[in-house]
Amino acid sequence: MEDAARDTLVGLGFEDLLNFHMTNEAENFGRMNVSPDDDCLGAADPVTIQEPYSEDYTILRTWALPSLLMVLENNTHRRYPQDLAEIGLAAGLDDSQNTGVAEHRTVAGALARTDASYEDAKARLQAIAEAFGTDLRTPPTTHPSFIDGRAAEIVLDGDSVGVVGEIHPKVLVDHDLELPVAAFEFRLDALE
């Protein structure tokens, strides 16, 4: 499943990335305008590293989109457009699990270009859903990382599994990005 999803993303023009699964609260939450207590994608009690070797890596990420924005931030000297995607691990504390941690694979994509829009991200998302024979619906939603009115919930085969939209200007400024970014993230297992 993961290889097929990765092939689909690459076929849609995304550059496939592999980022660290460890990060810190500022990157995972603060710079994305999200709090662990929010009721949205990415908000979760993070798994904390007890003795981190660096202040940059103190938690396991709860979602992958912050990693993509960090790559875009570090790539401002490269030509645009930059279409980046990652399939990777996300985790959060969960007392119902015998390990106390719930892990899942997540699919994230970001389109950075002068004309990046919600419609661009949704079109790529629609192509992914069609490639896997899943029904996609995108009812409007709000998310602190996205512009109000330019974000939607990702519903695959009736299950809410993610979010798609245009990244909020505050998040762009916090990442020193001067171009619009449209993005999405959803659970990989929703394509099964």
Task: State the average pLDDT over residues 181-191.
Answer: 97
Q: How far apart are CA 62 and CA 58, in angstroms?
A: 12
The sheet carrying 101-112 orders its strands as: 15-17, 82-93, 101-112, 181-187, 159-167, 146-156, 136-137
- One-letter identity of residue 55: E
Q: Is the pTM of this model over 0.85?
A: yes
Closest to 147 in 3D by CA, of 181, 186, 113, 111: 181
Residue 101 belongs to what H/E stretch? Answer: strand 101-112
At 60, is the secondary structure helix, strand, or coil? strand
Using pLDDT thresholds of 50, 70 and 90, give the confidence band for residue 171.
very high
Bridge-based pairing state of the strands 15-17 and 82-93: parallel
Q: How far apart are CA 6 and CA 16, in angstroms?
A: 7
Q: How far apart are CA 56 and CA 84, in angstroms?
A: 22
Q: What is the CATH number of the domain that holds 117?
A: 3.30.930.10
pLDDT of residue 152: 98
Q: Which two tokens stand for residue 171?
A: 């998040």
- Which residue in the block uniquely carries the two structure tokens 């695959």? 156
Count other C-beta atoms under 10 Å from residue 13's C-beta. 11
pLDDT tens digits, 6-64: 999 999 999 999 999 999 999 999 999 999 999 999 999 999 999 999 999 999 999 99
pLDDT tens digits, 134-143: 999 999 999 9
Q: In terms of residue numbers, what domain contains 113? A: 2-191
Bridge-based pairing state of the strands 159-167 and 59-60: unpaired
Counting the structural domains of the chain, the total is 1
- One-letter identity of residue 152: A
pLDDT tens digits, 85-127: 999 999 999 999 999 999 999 999 999 999 999 999 999 999 9
Q: Which two tokens stand for residue 178?
A: 């001067």
* b/e burial code for range 64-85 (CB count within 10 A of at least 16 → b): bbbbbbbbbeeeeeeeeebbbb
* b/e burial code for range 154-166 (CB count within 10 A of at least 16 → b): bbbeeebbbbbbb
Q: How far apart are CA 97 and CA 14, in angstroms?
A: 34
Using pLDDT thresholds of 50, 70 and 90, give the confidence band for residue 77.
confident
